[in-house]
Amino acid sequence: MPKSKRRKSLKKPRTRAFHNQSGLCYYCQQPMWLTSPTELTVNYGITHRRAMLLRCTGEHLIAHAEGGGSNSSNIVAACLYCNRQRHRRRGDLPPARFRDFVRKRMKQGRWHMFCPRHLEASVSIP
């Protein structure tokens, strides 16, 4: 593939978004990990398998296919679980609407809550 057509790496903007969001998923506000799932298994007592779903991913607010770039203003940090679920839905919801959907489902106990102690201690879900 010619160099001009290659997608830019999301590593730097993803890392920046992770730190700007205090390590919390843009959608579900659960803690994520960047370098090792052990960060969560030790701190929250969750299984390695569950921690793997909280790996930090870079999420385009405006899809790359729709002309969205890989610049920091278009990339947020999202856990692997939320990222996958958003893109599995028929007719992707815009990011803000998906975030509202996720938080509503969490209130109903119908979304993942791998680190509930984190939510009870520090995050209120509107």
Full domain range(s) for residue 111: 8-121
**For residue 40, what is the domain's CATH number?**
3.30.40
For residue 58, the SS3 value is strand
The CA-based angle 88-91-96, given to 5 degrees, is 90
Is 76 part of a structural domain of the chain?
Answer: yes
Is 3 part of a structural domain of the chain?
Answer: no
Neighbours of 16 (CB within 10 A): 14
Is 2 part of a structural domain of the chain?
Answer: no
Is 14 part of a structural domain of the chain?
Answer: yes
Is 87 part of a structural domain of the chain?
Answer: yes
Q: Which of 45-49, 70-74, 107-111, 116-120 is predicted with the least confidence, judged by mean pLDDT?
A: 116-120
Segment 74-110, tens digit of pLDDT: 999 999 999 999 988 877 789 999 999 999 999 888 8
Is 25 part of a structural domain of the chain?
Answer: yes
Segment 2-43, tens digit of pLDDT: 544 566 788 999 999 999 999 999 999 999 999 999 989 998
What does pTM read for this prediction? 0.84
Is 1 part of a structural domain of the chain?
Answer: no
In total, how many domains does the chain have? 1
Is 106 part of a structural domain of the chain?
Answer: yes
Distance CA 85, CA 62 (A): 17
| DSSP structural state of residue 114 | S
